[in-house]
Structure formats: structure tokens, C-alpha cells
Amino acid sequence: MRDPKRTPRCARRFTPYAGRFVVAYLLDRLIQMVIVLFLLSVGAYYLLGLMPGDPVELLITSNPKVKPEDIERLKKIYGLDQPIYIRYFKWLKQLTLEGDLGFSRTYKKPTGEILKIRVLNTLKLMTFSFLLSFLIAIPVGVYSAIKQYSTFDYVVNLMVFLGISIPTFLTGILAILVFSVQLQWFPAGGIFTIGVDSVLDQLKYLVLPTFVLSVGSISGWSRYIRASMLEVLHEDYIRTARAKGVPEKRIIFYHAFRNALIPTITILALSIPGLFSGALITETIFAWPGMGRLLYDSVMGSDYYVAMLCFLALGVLTLIFNFLADILYAVADPRVRVMKEGP
Amino acid sequence: MEKFLNFLLIIVLVFFSGCSKSGQSGTDSQITVGISQEPDSLDPLLGEMAASSEILGALLRGLTTRNEKWELLPELAKEVPSLTNGLWEQLPGDKMRTTWSLKEGARWEDGHPVTAEDFIFAHQVIMDDRVPVISRDLDRRIEKMEAPDPLTLVVTWKELYAYANEGHALLPKHALESVYQKDPSKYHESFFNTKPVGNGPYKLSQWEPGNYLMLEKSPTFFGEPAKFDKVIYRIIPDTNTILANLESRTIDAISPVGLSFDQAMEFQKRRGADFNISFVQGLVWEHIDMNHDSPILKDKRVRQALLYAMDREKIVKTLFEGKQEVADSWLPPHHYGHYAEVKKYPYDPEKARKLLEDAGWKEGPDGVRVNEQGEKLQLTIMTTAGNKIRERVEEIIQADWKNVGIELEIKNQPAKVFFGETTRYRKFPHLAMYAWIIGPTADGESLWTIKNIPSAENNWQGQNTGGFRHPEMDRIDNLVPKTLDEKERRHLLIQEQQIWAEELPALPLYFRADVSATRKDLVNWLITGTDTPVTWNVERWYFAK
């Protein structure tokens, strides 16, 4: 035990009790995460195994030259002749103890190599779309809440419902038809012009998919921000502030917006893992080699190494950002801060 | 707020004005082809996808090839062995021997000569149990391969096998032997998957995963030098986007692995004047398998009635505008064994009704036929859910059969379940609609013989999914692959088709067409309809001036 008298003054604020609490809290969350990840991997692996149609056996339905003995031999090479729990533990051991991500059966490449390229591509596309959505949705949402029932609000409302209800595959195809085939402003899919290495060129390829991806999220987010802003604007403390004669700008940005942000944080934080998981339909339409398609193709092809690594990576990200969201609450809203006093 | 919106608008306008018309491809020294798949592996032993074989067609050339008329031509070989030229000999004990002479001067892209050893090495790798080569159908019949001199390959076969002229693989032994020797179980993870060494008109210069592959003219090619300096394959998974790319001229051609039949028809109508759209009859045989263990379908008369009662002409006219042909048997018209005079089943509901009456199915009170036990003539059809064309076909058949008193229930499943469970374990009660690929050398051995009925005894292996049993047809189908003379084989196949068309083990529907679209001025783009990729003559492609 330390002698309290000898403890410097400034150190007293961070009492060992609070520190111990933070460490315990972090440890607690960490253990939770490991358990969740373990359960996720068991569940995902088992579900992959439950899917009918063993990938190797399906070869026989498409290739008349594949004979039963070929199937037996291939299953043995890929270890598919063993029961699923043995395969799972072998995979787990390989991943955790040997650090080997495995060699993809369908892509014929090391799994880590495939994932690296795909994650980068997806991150590029999704970050642009995220920023664009964020930058448009917040001002639009706030403004239409302030000017409720104005023409602007009605127009935004209409656009938002269009944006939410028109599916991506339609906006995608329409965008290609108008901007690539008719106007020829932007390329119809791909990530850069072959043989051209310039940022402007790559940006040109980003425009259409970013736009198509953002339509949905702008619509959804601006609705959400508008609603939570409206709710806050009707709170008593806003009325009090107005009665006190606080300038309107300060009311909106200091009192209302900050409070309206709290529920928004959840949505934003939880959509960040989505930046890595990609968007299957948009990626397919715009020939964008990202994670969405990788995940889909690997699950459909029963490519365990690739699919499991995707699942785990997304699992980890979701958990981390969930955790970050919890912390951000505390920053935005003092009421949420959990304080536990020492004895 | 208004200020902010104005600002955004300005940014957008500035950006747009910076984007002029996007890059047009197709200068005379290069061609860009759009393809919807990405190749998995460019190792000829390991690649499984159609896209892989299309790229390999430009990178690697074997002993023989087939042209667009399905004729077998020598490529690396000087001559194709046959019984008449003496290069194909029958040996005592039902064995045989084929002898190949390689063309002089053939080289790998790194300058090493192509020799008979390269074939022997590939055979050794294929037969290694530690290497996940998919099919060993050809190689398992080989007793030994020898190279008396670098340009002569002598293959001794364990058994008589009619299709010994196609399918010998080759690998650059000088580049791969050390990799293979080091650890055969890691062979399939080698550099060769993504950086192959070929001997063809082109060599791979770049592969940007998920994006494109660039092929460059190879100076060491033994054949006619390629006309284009570069062939670029762009990977575009969405088939509508591929079309948009062709229309906006960012690509010059769409690979047969890239366009659906529907899209090609629609495109033909819309832009047929500006682009070449080819429809070539393919090998894919759409049919309905019948479960021959079902008491209803055991009766030949019922099977025939089902086919008479189905207006297949209407199906191909309404769904495909006649661009895919009705199938009369299971062999496509381009197949050497195809028999044109086989028994045909034109739409004839009267004949169908009579056959059903004869089989004991009388008209019931609600229009559905019943037998003496009072059981209704109800059948269930299953196919892959979500396949629009198959679903339309089902609807047409349902209406046609209702007309003659047969009730058809449609029960579709996702492809994985349908192929993984239903057809594999023969779990369909009556009918299953799907397709088989009937290759240029296909015979009925795997599809119609009794030993190929999937069952618990043979570990559910085999492709006679309907469970058809006919001793005479069984005898013929087992005999065909052992008959070396093509004329004799053709004769046997004709006999087989006569029995087939009378017995109807399955209901033939139509042969699917392969489709592709290109710029109007692209010359020598010849799709084959077979598993020979369109790149079989890539060195002769060019744009007409």
C-alpha cells in the first residue's frame, strides 16, 4: 500500500481504483471479444460445412470426365474426407499457432494475398462513399429539421424516399447508361485505365460507384439525423435557451446538434465495418474487385480459408467499432460515462 | 446552407468538365476483350474455369486443336495418329500405342525447345496422388510414355481407348521440375498459377487481379506470328456492364464467357447493325431426367406421351426466337455420331392422349387422368431456382401437359441443393430439368450405362441420374469407347440413338447456343461452341481496315 501522504497531488485524480477499473473493463471487453470471435468462427465454419453440395463432389455434375476415384483423391488432398470438427480444429491450429492463412482452393493463391488487394480496393471505394454520404447527409438532415415543413424539407423528403426505394442495381445500370454509354463522361466499370497511372484517372473510375453507393446511405442517414434533431429541438432545455435569448446559431450547433449526434454515432460507428465488407451489388455492376464479391464468391464456392478469414476480419472490426462507439458516447454525452467510485 | 449547396454544385461541375470522353480502346496493335470470369489458375493442370482455358488458349498450344467446325487438327504435332497412317497401332492383349512427332523449332517463351519430355513430365505430375489435378480420365489409361528422341513421343496404353488423340498435357519441364521435386504436395501452390511459361502466340505480361490480364505477342511462337501486339482481357463480372463497355467502345469484343443468351438476342435487335453478334450451336444439352424407379415413368408409353404432349418448337420460338434448336436425341448435330433420321416427337397432343389411354390413364372427373387404382397422373418437376429460362420452360410444359390431363407440380431448389442433393442422390420423385455438356467425343458410357446409376453401393457416383436400365443399350454404350475406328463408332452410336429415341431415358429439350459480340471489323473471331476456347486462333485475329 502506498502512503497517501507521499502521493503527489496531481496523481491523486487518477486513483488506483479508477485505473484498476479501466484495466478490468478493457480486459473484460477483450475476453468477451475472444469468446465472441471463437463462437463466430465455430458457427461460420459449421454453417459452411452444412451447405449442401461438397465443392469437390459438385465437380462431377459439371464435368463428365471426373470419375469417382478422382473425387476420393481430391477430397483426401484437401482434407475434405475428415469430419467437420477435425477440419475446424486443424484450421484453427494452422491459423493461430502457425500463423498460416492457407492457400485458397478456388483462387489458387495465398489467402492473405487475395484479401490484401480486395480490402484496399474496398476501403478506397467505401471511404469515398462514407465521406460523401457523411458530408451531405448531416447538413441536409440538420437543415431540413430546422426548416421542418418547408419546400426544402418536402423536396428532400421526396428525394430521400426515392433514394431508399430505388435498388442499387437499378441506379447502377442507369448511371452506366447515362454517364458511360450516352454521355461517355465516366468509364463503365473497372478501377483504372490500363496503362495509365494517374490519380485523376482513378478518381474518374470512382465517381459512378461512389455516387451509386452513397444514394442509399445519404437518404438513410439524413432521415435519421433529421429525426433526432427534431426530437432534440422540442426538448425543454432548447426552449429554455431560447427564452434566455441565446442566439439561434448557438442553440442549433451547440445545444441541439451535439445532442442529436449521440444516436447518430451508433449508426456511423456500426457502418464502419461495412467499409471493409464492401457492397456486393455495386461491386459486381462496376467490376470493382472488392470484399463484397470476395465474400460472396468464397461462400458460394465453399472456399473455407478465404470465407473464414473474411468472417473473422469483419467480426474483429465490428467488435472494435462497437467498442469505439461505446467510448464515443461517453465523449459526446457525459451522462453515459460510467463512473464507479472507489471505496 | 444555400452557399454550401452552391459550393458542392461547383465542385461537381468542375470535376465533370475535367472528364472528357473516357479512353477509347482498340488501336490497331491491340484488342481488349471483356470477360465475366477471372481465371483461377493458369497452370493447365489446375485451372478449372472457362476463363482459364480461354486465356490459356493464347498462351499454350498442345499436340492438337479443334477448329470451329469441330475438326481435329495437328498443332504441335506434325500429324494426328490414325489407324491408316500407322501412327496408331493396336497391340496384343487389348493394348495400343500412339506415336507423335513434334514440329521442329517449337519453343517455350523463355527460348527452351519444346520436347517430348515436357509431355512425360506433365503426365508424371498428373498421376501423382499429391497433386490436386481434377480429372485423370486420359492419363489413367496410359501404361507408359517414352521419348526415343526429343521430338518423338511414344504412348503405350493399358486399354483400347478411342479418344487417345486429344488431351495430352504439357508443362515446361525445365522451369517446373525443381518446384515439383522439392515438395510435390505443394506443387499446386507454385508460381505457375499466376506466372505461367507458355509456348503460344502470346505470353502473359501483367495480371492485375480482379481487373485485367495483359498478353503480349511472343516472339518465340512456332506458328504464324500474331497480328495484334497485345491482347487485353478485362474482367467485368456484371454482364450488363460488359455490354455497356462494348457500346461505349472501351472493349472490342465480348468473350463467350460473358454474355447471356437473352442479352445477345436483345442486343442483336437493338444494335445488330453496329456490332457482330454470333450465335453458335453449343454442346450444352438441356433435358429433363426421368426417375425410372417411379411406377408412372417405368411405362415407355407414358414417357413417349410426355414428349408428344410438349410443344418444344413453341418453346424455342417464344423463348429463343429459334436461335437454339430442338434436340431430338442427346447428341448435338455437330457430333460425328449424330443421327439425323432418329425417331422424332413433334407436338401431337392426340397421340399423347392415346398413348396415355393405352397405358391405363383414363380421363378423371377434374380433367386430371387417373389409373385403375384411382391414382391421379400427377408429376413433380424440379430444377435450379432462379434460372428464368428454365422456369419459363416449366410453365410452358405445365400448360401443355394440363391439356392432355397431366398435372405438373413445380418444385425448384437453389442450384447447390439441386445438384448437391437432389440429382446426386436421385431424390427427385419424377422429373429433373438440367443440362449436360456433350463434348465432341462424348459417348453414352457415363450417362446411360447401368454401372453409372448413382447408388449407395457405388458411393453415389455416376451420371445415369434417372436410373435407366436397358441391356442392349448398356452393351453398346460400354463398347463405343473401346472401338478405335471412327466409322465403326459412328455406326454403334446410330444404333444407340435408335434405341434411345424409342425408349426415351430422358426428355430432350434443346441445345444451348454459345454467344458473343464484337466490333464489326474484327476478323477471324470464331467461337467454336465446344470447350475449345475462342482463342484457339488468336494469332489470326485482326481489325479489317
Contacting residues of A for B132, CB less than 8 Å apart: 74, 77-78
State the nearest Cα–Cα gap between A244 and chain B, in angstroms.
26
Q: Cα–Cα distances in Å, from B181 out to B139, B190, B201?
A: 20, 12, 29
Q: Is A293 on the interface with B (CB under 8 A)?
A: yes
Chain B residues in contact with A114 by the CB 8 A cut-off are: 209
pLDDT in tens, A182-225: 888 888 888 887 777 788 888 888 889 998 888 888 888 888 88
Element (H, E) at B473: helix B471-479
User: Per-residue pLDDT for chain B (545 aa), expressed as one digit of tens each?
Assistant: 444 445 444 444 444 433 433 344 445 589 999 999 889 889 999 888 889 999 999 999 999 998 888 888 999 999 999 999 999 999 998 899 999 999 999 999 999 999 999 999 999 999 999 998 888 889 999 999 999 999 999 999 999 999 999 889 999 999 999 999 999 988 988 999 999 999 999 999 999 888 899 999 999 999 999 999 999 999 988 888 899 899 988 899 999 988 888 889 999 998 889 999 999 888 889 999 999 999 999 999 999 999 999 999 999 999 988 889 899 999 988 888 999 999 999 999 999 999 999 999 998 888 899 998 889 999 999 998 888 889 999 999 999 999 999 999 999 998 878 887 888 889 999 999 998 888 888 888 889 999 889 888 877 777 899 999 999 999 999 999 989 888 999 999 999 999 999 999 999 999 988 899 999 999 999 998 888 899 999 999 999 97
- Asked whether the ipTM of the predicted complex exceeds the cut of 0.90, the reply is no
pLDDT in tens, A272-314: 777 677 688 888 888 888 888 888 888 887 888 898 988 888 8
CA-based nearest distance A224→chain B, Å: 19
State which H helix or E strand residue B297 sits in. none
Give the separation between CA A59 and CA A56, rounded to whole angstroms.
Answer: 5
Cell of B494: 446410330
What are the phi and psi torsion angles at B210 (to 5°)?
75, 0
Residues of chain B in contact with residue A155, where contact means CB-CB under 8 angstroms, are none
Superfamily of domain B282-512 in the CATH hierarchy = Dipeptide-binding Protein; Domain 3 (3.10.105.10)
Mean pLDDT of chain B: 89
Chain B residues 235-274 with a CB less than 8 Å from chain A? 235-238, 240-241, 244-245, 247-248, 250
Grid coordinates belonging to A96: 493461430
Domain boundaries, chain B: 22-60+200-281+513-543, 64-185, 282-512
User: Taking the model in full, what pTM does it have?
Assistant: 0.80
Closest partner CB to A70 (pick from B135, B188, B189): B135
> Sign of torsion, CA B318 B321 B322 B323?
negative
Domain covering B22-60+200-281+513-543: architecture? 3-Layer(aba) Sandwich (3.40)
Note whether A58 contacts B: Cβ–Cβ < 8 A: yes
Q: Which three cell numbers stand for residue A290?
A: 472488392
Block residue for cell numbers 517446373: B176
Domain B64-185 in the same topology as domain B22-60+200-281+513-543: no
- Tracing cell 476478323 back to the chain, one arrives at B523
The C-alpha atoms of residue B342 and residue A18 are separated, in whole angstroms, by: 90
**Residues constituting chain A:** 343
The H-or-E segment that residue A34 falls in is helix A16-50
Query: Beta partners for B407?
Result: B378
3.40.50.720, 3.60.10.10, 3.40.640.10, 3.90.76.10: which CATH number matches B64-185?
Answer: 3.90.76.10
Asked if residues A125 and A206 have their Cβ atoms less than 8 Å apart, the reply is: yes
Strands (E) in B139-201, as ranges, are 142-146, 152-157
Instruction: Identify how many contiguous H helices and E strands chain A contains and give both numbers.
Output: 14, 0
The cell numbers describing B341, all together, are: 433420321
Whole-number Å distance between alpha carbons of A58 and A61: 5
Q: Show the 3-state SS of A272-298.
A: HHHHHHCCHHHHHHCCCCCHHHHHHHH
Q: Are B210 and A74 inside 8 Å of each other by CB? A: no
How far is C-alpha A237 from the geometric centre of its chain's CA atoms? 35
Q: Hey, is the C-beta of A181 within 8 angstroms of any chain B C-beta?
A: yes
Tell me the chain B residues in contact with residue A206 when contact means C-beta distances shorter than 8 Å: none
Going by C-alpha positions, the residue among A98, A88, A77 that lies closest to residue B188 is A77
Q: Tell me the one-letter amino acid at B83.
A: L
**By C-alpha distance, which of B50, B42, B315 is closest to B197?**
B42
> Helix, strand or coil for residue B326?
strand
CA neighbours closer than 13 Å in the CB half-sphere of residue B95: 11
Taking the Cβ of residue A63 and every Cβ of chain B, the question of whether any pair is shorter than 8 Å is answered with yes
